[in-house]
Amino acid sequence: MNSPEFCIWTLFVLISFATSDGTQLWDQVDILTSANEELVLRLGELENRLEHLEDGVSDHRQMSRRQHIGHTAFSYRIDTTKRTLDRNDPIVFPVKITDLDGGYNSQTGIYTAPVDGVYMLSCSLLADQSSASIPQLHASIMVDGKAVGKVFAYADTASHRDQGASTIFVHLKQGSMVWVKVIDLDHVTVGGDMYSMFSGYLLFEY
């Protein structure tokens, strides 16, 4: 595509052959120069409008994405049944309190993050010693196989229970998997009802 300057000089040459009057020739050049400046000005205005439109489309896409994702928050608990677990066993919280996007799997105990962002994760566990278990309960909040928080509780007798808890803020990637597992010890008993819970929510996308 030829530039405006090339077009002007082409017309200049054509006009120089079509007229013998130098004054008329320069008048034509002035007219063409003014027309070119106006075209450049209009082109700049169009480029600015296009940039604003592109920004608007980008904002609309981000808003639509947020509306599609909505809010993500979950909270699950263990039922009234005590669970005796060994080290590295996942702690599954089967009873749903709330789950706005269905990200928590109550069969596997794994929460899958729907988007990149900063999340709050919280876990409380009740150590409830039985005759077949030891008093300590030690667990980790795991993100993609890495411990990011720990919970500890100690039930020193069969009649004394103890609750431990941990709350963290962590950056998760879309598809990151989060769960809670027993660490260090075998034959630990996790008490149920509303004392052992696992919760989380998205603070903001990042």
At residue 173 the predicted structure's pLDDT band, cuts being 50, 70 and 90, is: very high
Domain end, chosen from 46, 68, 90, is at 68
**pLDDT tens-digit series, residues 81-140:** 888 899 999 999 999 999 998 899 999 999 999 999 999 999 999 998 765 668 889 999
- Same domain? For 46 and 103 the reply is no
* Mean pLDDT confidence for 143-169: 90
Q: Which domain holds residue 168?
A: 71-205
Q: Are residues 95 and 197 part of one domain?
A: yes
pLDDT for the residue numbered 68: 47
- In sequence order, the 6+-apart residues with CB closer than 8 A to the CB of 99 are 73, 74, 75, 76
The predicted pLDDT at position 201 comes to 95
pLDDT (0 to 100) of residue 129: 75
167: pLDDT strictly greater than 80: yes
87/51 same-domain check: no
Neighbours of 177 (CB within 10 A): 15
Has residue 146 got a pLDDT over 80?
A: yes
Please tell me whether residues 121 and 167 are part of one structural domain.
yes
CATH number of the domain at 194, please.
2.60.120.40
Q: What is the β-pairing status of strands 95-99 and 146-154?
A: unpaired
CA-CA-CA-CA dihedral for 27, 32, 33, 37, to nearest 10: 140
Same domain, 140 and 64: no
Q: According to the model, what pLDDT value does residue 62 have? A: 56
Query: Domain end: 24, 51, 68, which one?
Result: 68
Residues 55 and 82 in one domain: no
pLDDT confidence of residue 15: 54
Whether the predicted pLDDT of 74 surpasses 50: yes
Indicate the number of domains in the chain: 2
In this structure, are 9 and 108 located in the same domain?
no
pLDDT reported for residue 49: 85
What would the pLDDT profile of 19-69 be if each residue is shown by its tens digit?
A: 555 566 666 767 777 777 888 888 888 888 888 888 776 665 655 555 445
Residues 107 and 152 in one domain: yes
Nearest to 17 by CA among 28, 2, 33: 28
Same domain membership, residue 185 and residue 106: yes
Residues 61 and 79 in one domain: no
| Residue 33 and residue 93 share a domain | no
Is the same domain home to 179 and 84?
A: yes
Show which of 68, 88, 113 is a domain's final residue: 68
pLDDT given at position 82: 83
